[in-house]
Amino acid sequence: MDDLEYTTLADRYFLRKLAGTGGMAQVYQAWDQLRGTEMAIKVIHDLRFFESFVREAVALRDIAHPNIVRFYSVEKDDEKGIIFIVMEWVEGRDLQRILKKRGGPLGIGEVTSILQGIQRALQYAHKLGICHCDIKPANILLKDADDQPVLSDFGLAHVAHDKGAGGTLAFMAPELFIKGGEYSVSSDIYALGVTLYQLLSGHLPFHGDTKDRLIREHMGKTPPRIQSFNPKVPDGIARVIEKALAKNPSQRQGSVMELWSEFYKYAQTVEQKRLKEHKQPLEFDDVINAKARSKKTMVPDQPILSSHPPKCFISYSWDSTRHRKWVRGLAEKLAENGVETHLDQWDIAPDDQLPRYMEKSVRDADCVLLVCTPLFAQKANGSKGGVGYETTIVTGEIFVGESVDRKFVPLLRSGSAADALPSYLKTKAYIDFRHNVDFDAGLEELLRHIYDQPKFRRPHLGKKPTFD
Ligand SMILES: Nc1ncnc2c1ncn2[C@@H]1O[C@H](COP(=O)(O)OP(=O)(O)OP(=O)(O)O)[C@@H](O)[C@H]1O
Ligand SMILES: [Mg+2]
């Protein structure tokens, strides 16, 4: 499969970054130039299924729910021989990845809060007569901002198959393997059962090493007790999952609501028991916090980095290898202080995409740091290269207004202010980072500026960073 990064599809969607690869597609983070917003583009390298996708799309366009990834359209690019699905971009990570990283099961609390969101999404869609058809951890994304779970790939998995049901084998209900078997609320409940089993045990209930063996296991094998992998799972919850995994659809829960209320009853009991034992509310461990807590530099019990760290884009010119090394060093120091830092990579964006790349980078950033040197000023004033495009962007329509003052921060790295600050920055206060000044003092001033907004919380670090 070709790598489509930095390609524009349908004269409209600029594919910025490959976000993930699944069984039949690649998902890109893209910029929709018409709407002026971020989108996820799922590229399918098989034109044959276009008509079927378009048919499905009619129903999917109506689905609007906070726990469902918004679907926009199915389009095709004949020249490149691809179909692509345009959907909402979710800044987050999928549960498959989280499970892999964890290397073990998630906690009951975590799974309960995930299920709470997912069951809402499924109840809503089932009422509209739409089944998901491919519920699995890879299709559940947790938003970085608030850990809200959202379901992706609604109703699409079975489309790109010639005959009958297609989805992800490990999650497919036994009746789907029988001739004429169709997706239903009950097959979604089964897939949800497999998902819960995997989240709470770290294992799939069935993993036959060939397709036929796996199908046979779905049809006839009783999965290992979930507690054999994770003894913390209470009996009640194990029974709810076993019921969802019943071979006969009529023995499963009749609705997602039923499954949720059974599950929640036992989850609540666990939470109450924990409350009694610990005499303090033990909130559901959330994944972001667990990740942040593992950072050695964090002081225990310190409020965690805001789940939206400030984003900085560093713009600089290539004066010398030493200069670039310094810029990288600065980026590392910012990252150590909880700032999400992006270095200008204008060299990898193809020429015709450069303006868009620059605009996007500048637009996305909470702060744009301009590392000013005489060469930087020369390029900026002469509108040359990436730095030149940036000048157009900064001084153009888009960023003229109140945000400009806060957003663009000149860092004086060499030369004098008169030589090194581009003309559009001449009147702005700069932070002095020249060789002869104290780096730590400059860094401190910069961090104070970056974090000087209530939405960001500066992490408390164990020791003062030093720069070498
Ligand atoms: N709307 C989205 N926003 C952000 N990231 C997404 C979005 N949709 C998918 N992704 C990311 O892209 C990855 C690949 O998605 P994709 O749906 O192609 O694969 P999959 O779900 O693992 O497998 P399958 O091919 O069976 O659907 C996902 O695991 C997810 O991390
Ligand atoms: Mg998917």
Q: How far is the CA of 67 from the centre of ligand 2 (A)?
A: 15
Run of H or E including 19: strand 13-21
From the list 77, 134, 286, 366, the catalytic residue is 134
pLDDT at 359: 74
> Measured from the CB, is residue 133 less than 6 Å from ligand 1?
no
Q: How far is the CA of 138 from the centre of ligand 2 (A)?
A: 6
Atom 28 of ligand 1 has which residue's CA nearest to it? 20
Summarised one tens digit per residue, pLDDT across range 265-296 is 998 887 777 666 654 433 333 333 344 334 33
Domain ranges of the chain: 8-88, 92-292, 311-451
State the Cα–Cα distance between residues 119 and 255, nearest whole angstrom. Answer: 10
pLDDT score of 79 more than 70: yes
Q: What is the CATH number of domain 311-451?
A: 3.40.50.10140
pLDDT > 90: what percent of the chain?
A: 46
Question: DSSP code of 85?
Answer: E
Summarised one tens digit per residue, pLDDT across range 323-356 is 988 998 898 888 888 888 887 776 666 666 676 7
Atom 15 of ligand 1 has which residue's CA nearest to it? 22
Q: Domain spanning 92-292: which superfamily? A: Transferase(Phosphotransferase) domain 1 (1.10.510.10)
> Measured from the CB, is residue 20 less than 6 Å from ligand 1?
yes
pLDDT at 328: 86
Q: Which of 171, 135, 177 is nearest to 153 (CA)?
A: 135
Atom 17 of ligand 1 has which residue's CA nearest to it? 22
Q: Which residues of 52-86 are buried (b: 16+ CB within 10 A; e: fewer)?
A: bbeebbeebeebebebbbbbbebbbbeeeebbbbb
CATH of 8-88 given 3.40.220.10, 1.10.490.10, 3.40.50.2000, 3.30.200.20: 3.30.200.20
Global pTM reads 0.64
pLDDT score of 399 more than 60: no
pLDDT at 299: 30
> Measured from the CB, is residue 172 less than 6 Å from ligand 1?
no
pLDDT score of 305 more than 70: no
pLDDT score of 376 more than 80: yes
Residue predicted with more confidence, 97 or 299: 97
Taking a 5 Å cut-off on Cβ, the residues next to ion ligand 2 are: 22, 139, 153
134 is catalytic: yes
Tell the burial category of 174 from Cβ atoms under 10 Å away from its Cβ (0-12, 13-18, 19+). Answer: buried
pLDDT score of 209 more than 80: yes
Residue 96 near residue 29, CB atoms below 8 Å: no
Atom 19 of ligand 1 has which residue's CA nearest to it? 22
Select from 45, 152, 156 the residue to mutate for testing ligand 1; criterion: most ligand atoms less than 8 Å from CB: 152
